[in-house]
Structure 1
Amino acid sequence: MVTVADVRALARTLPRSSEHLIHDRVKFRVGSIVYVAFSRDEATMGFGFPKEERAALVATQPDLFFLPGVSDLRFNWVCCHTARLDHDHMTELVTEAWRMCVPKFLARQRLGD
């Protein structure tokens, strides 16, 4: 199970990342771009993910991942159940969502790609 505290600990290590409380929801952003957001009850987490790959992600693990609401389908976004997410998978998902928001040189500096 992953908590907001787990994501917060990781996000603090990611350059240009900041945490915000918006309408009682914890969100992590780079500038004005949200790359991770929790539901009010923290039972689900949405994160940046390429649109063209999200259907395959949901299909491979439908008990963990699900599509966002209709109004958010236009964004590069997918959601998951935090109770079913392990720490290693969260680290990968959050880091990749962050990578989508920062300049390539910064992602290379941090992740070495």
Structure 2
Amino acid sequence: MATLDDVRSIAGDLPGSEERATTGGAAWFVRNKLFAWECHPWPSIPEDVRAIVAAELVLGVKVADELDALALREMAPDVFLPQTTGWGEPKIAFRMARIDRDHLTELVVEAWRVQAPKYLQREFDALHA
């Protein structure tokens, strides 16, 4: 089971990553662009999804496009939630209790890549070559 501490550890290794406390919980930014966040059961979220978010830890991340989000939802519908809200697309939300550390790392790093400028991506790639 993945935790917010796992997200902190992964995001902490990403150049330019910054954690901030928001009204909805913890959130991670790169150059003031949101890439990962702790989901909160806002009234704008559909009732069925809001019940899940209220009952367990759910993380949202940016994805490259809606096709990526759709593929993840179809691949593991028990892990990835249906669309939460229309704002901030493309994104995906998932149940932390149902994801392993390796997949969490992949999702957070890819979300960071969606938002990070090219020079920070090159810095990360150089460190992990």
TM-score, normalization by structure 1: 0.88
**% identical equivalent positions:** 31
1:96 aligns with 2:110: yes
Any stretches of 5+ residues in structure 2 without a counterpart?
A: 41-53
Match for 1:3: what amino acid? T
**CA–CA distance in structure 2, aligned partners of residues 55 and 29 of structure 1:** 24
User: Residue 84 of structure 2 aligns to which amino acid in structure 1?
Assistant: G
**Aligned residue pair count:** 112
Match of 2:73 in 1: 58
Aligned-partner SS, 1:56: helix
Aligned AA for 1:25?
G
Quick one: distance in 1 between partners of 2:73 and 2:103? 14
Where has structure 1 moved over 4 Å in runs of 4 or more? none
Match of 1:32 in 2: 32
The structure with the greater share of residues assigned to strand is 1
Structure number with greater Rg is: 2
Match of residue 105 from structure 1: 119
Normalised by the size of structure 2, how large is the TM-score? 0.78
Could you list the runs of 5+ residues in structure 1 that have no partner in the other structure?
none
Aligned to 1:12: 12
